[in-house]
A and B are shown apart, each in its own frame.
Chain A
Amino acid sequence: MFAAPFDYARPKTLDEALSLLSKHGDEARLLAGGHSLIPAMKLRLAQPRLVVDIGRLDGLRQIEARDGRLAIGAMVTHAEIAASRTLADLCPLLVEVASAIGDLQVRNKGTIGGSLVHADPAGDWPAAILALDAEIEIAGPQGRRTVTAGAFFTGILETAVKPGEILCEIRVTAAAASAYVKTEQKASGFALCGVAAVVDATARRVRVGITGVAPVPYRAAAVERALEGQALAEGSLAAAAGQAAAGVTPLADIHASADYRAHLARVNTARALQRAASR
């Protein structure tokens, strides 16, 4: 299996990468961990003429914690997040998501930024990014802009990152009371249904992000509304979780029917909320 021929560039700085993208337009494609792009290139679903490898750019590889806020560079790998002590303490959801992705080799190469931009409907990160209400910083030829998680996922495999732009950083407020519960497709590890929950017991509020169920990952708005201002007891969490697929048309394929995905959304939401609340 060989990809179509391409030229290869490995810029050292973000500016250099951005100018390569401006110069080559549609013909150029960024390469991060390569674990979505390379399989697609081997199948010739993607045939870029120029591959711009951002694997050695400085400044996109750090995890920073400051005043309850966390900043994660786009090129941080799933494995680095899974192994981060800082994140395990401050935001266990991120560690649980990273550890549940694919397998060790995939986690060693795949990046959070690449996953988010690829926006696979069965990818794991979107659930967490939605539940944490993340801010996503994007660099482009005109400078930097910030997009909120709610405006980031625009369609199947589509995001707010435009051609010529580079996702640089993901920023979230640390949430110790958070958890991820996933039912995976056994062969690939991708999510049939992944639910990320963040519980704020003081403000009596929860946020729930769900991936794998609908064509585009979503916030379970009905669940969140049902629990607004409620004492977050086990019974009320379970009852609210019953609305995890309300208003959603679930995906159906050879791996799971629409009914089964909706069922998983309800069950995993109950479990994720309970685990988050217990932290």
Chain B
Amino acid sequence: MASPVQIRVTINGTLHTHEVEPRLLLVHYLREVCGLTGTHVGCETSLCGACTVLVDGKAVKSCTMFAVQADGCALTTIEGLAVNGDLHPVQEGFWERHALQCGYCTPGMVMTAVQLLADRKRPTREEIAHALRGNLCRCTGYTHIIDAVEHAAARR
């Protein structure tokens, strides 16, 4: 049978050490082992982006990565964005521009937008839409989400 593997992962600045089964997906590791349930499971088939987290600064679908692959990496999840209760500019943008309804897609949307804004200071609306292509939203129709990311870019 598959032998468990010891992993050390820094999540939102805190080091976590666990023994995990190699087949454990990163999203289940975050939610069930670390108790960080802000990262959502939508489709579990790599299509919706609800499970997006940052691995060494890059947006990744955590349902399409094994936890063992994250050994030695630095992760940021939605829980790690606010600093002392102050929202991250992207979170603030979602608040100000009413960019969510049910909120299910929001953590993934926000994490992808955080990478986009780290890469580009002032993305155009087209660039924002292109960057968010892997994040699906059943509620908003996307316009307000693009507004929110624009708002965040302008506020920085």
Query: Which of A7, A55, A104, A109 is within 8 Å of B2, CB to CB?
Result: A7
Query: Which of B22, B45, B130, B132 is within 8 Å of A6, CB to CB?
Result: B22
Measured between beta carbons, the chain B residues less than 8 angstroms from A1 are 25, 44-45, 63
Cross-chain contact A109 with B45 (CB below 8 angstroms)? no
User: How many angstroms between the C-alpha atoms of A5 and B130 in the bound complex?
Assistant: 36
User: How many angstroms between the C-alpha atoms of A189 and B136 in the bound complex?
Assistant: 13
* Among listed A16-24, A34-42, A171-179, A265-273, interface-contacting one: A34-42
Shortest CB distance B42–A (Å): 12
Q: Is B10 an interface residue (CB 8 A)?
A: no
Within 8 A of A (CB), among B107-125: 112, 115-116
Query: How many residues on the B side are at the interface (Cβ–Cβ under 8 A)?
Result: 34
User: How many angstroms between the C-alpha atoms of A35 and B61 in the bound complex?
Assistant: 10
Q: Is B37 an interface residue (CB 8 A)?
A: no
Beta-carbon nearest neighbor of B119 in chain A: A83
Shortest CB distance A61–B (Å): 13
Cross-chain contact A105 with B134 (CB below 8 angstroms)? yes
Query: How many residues on the A side are at the interface (Cβ–Cβ under 8 A)?
Result: 30
Cross-chain contact A103 with B133 (CB below 8 angstroms)? yes
Beta-carbon nearest neighbor of B20 in chain A: A8
Cross-chain contact B133 with A6 (CB below 8 angstroms)? no
Cross-chain contact A39 with B69 (CB below 8 angstroms)? no
Cross-chain contact A105 with B21 (CB below 8 angstroms)? no
Shortest CB distance A101–B (Å): 11
Q: Is A222 an interface residue (CB 8 A)?
A: no
15 example contacts (A-B, Cβ-Cβ < 8 A) are as follows A5-B1, A6-B22, A6-B23, A8-B22, A8-B68, A34-B65, A38-B46, A39-B46, A41-B23, A53-B69, A104-B131, A105-B61, A106-B46, A109-B61, A109-B65
